[in-house]
Amino acid sequence: MTKQEIKREKILEVAMQVFNNVGFHKAKITDIAKLAGIATGSIYLYFKDKNEIIEEIFTQTWSRLATQISLLHSDNNLDCMHKILAISMYLTELIRENHNRAILVLHEHRFWSSPDTPKLSASVREFSEKLNKIVSIGSKTGEFRPTIVPSIAIPFLIGGVGHLLEHWADNFDELPHDVVKNQICELVENTLL
């Protein structure tokens, strides 16, 4: 990584902390600069404003999710249920890997659907389409209930798993990882089987 890339990533990391501490709308670029130990003007070399910062955080996260589900979708060694469970477990690992990112993404989820963020929207759309295909295939092959309607089941799954993960992110030290993983598996299986 170059010095510029390291500095850019530091700004993103610190911004996640600031956004989580005071909320995105109350956060100021000066708060991010102060916590990062850099001049306020330095941030503007990398990002035009805090909207661009949060968009980058979301885009990075959703790009990773889209890549992971694409890999799972094309894995012929896994059945549909194991693909869905694998992406769910991947989500728990993202939370363990970067707690600040998880809290921000889960709490600011309304930002996901902004039409002003084409790169982010493309990643979210790719994730949703691949998830839809996996559920559709599972329903057609009899692995899942044949009455499953992907356009209804998927928002329910995303909402349920997302809500559970948000609860875990807020109570990270109180809920063991294994308990959360088991609850997610039960939620997914009870929805689809």
Q: What is the pLDDT of residues 165-174, one digit of tens each?
A: 888 888 888 8
Band (2; pLDDT cuts 50, 70, 90):
very high
Q: How many CA atoms lie within 13 A of 146 on its CB side?
A: 3
State which residues form the domain around 31.
1-47
* Summary mean pLDDT of the chain: 89
Same domain, 137 and 58: yes
Same domain, 74 and 13: no
- pLDDT recorded at residue 37: 93
Same domain, 144 and 94: yes
- pLDDT recorded at residue 115: 67
Helix (H, G, I), strand (E, B) or coil at 84: helix
Same domain, 125 and 42: no
d(CA 49, CA 28): 9
Band (114; pLDDT cuts 50, 70, 90):
low
Same domain, 175 and 129: yes
Same domain, 35 and 123: no
The whole-number average pLDDT for the span 81-87 is 95
Nearest Cα neighbor of 94 from 10, 11, 172, 190 is 172
Same domain, 57 and 150: yes
CATH of residue 42: 1.10.10.60
* Helix, strand counts (H, E) of the chain: 9, 0
Q: What ranges in 98-149 are assigned the alpha helix state H?
A: 99-107, 118-140
Domain count, the chain: 2
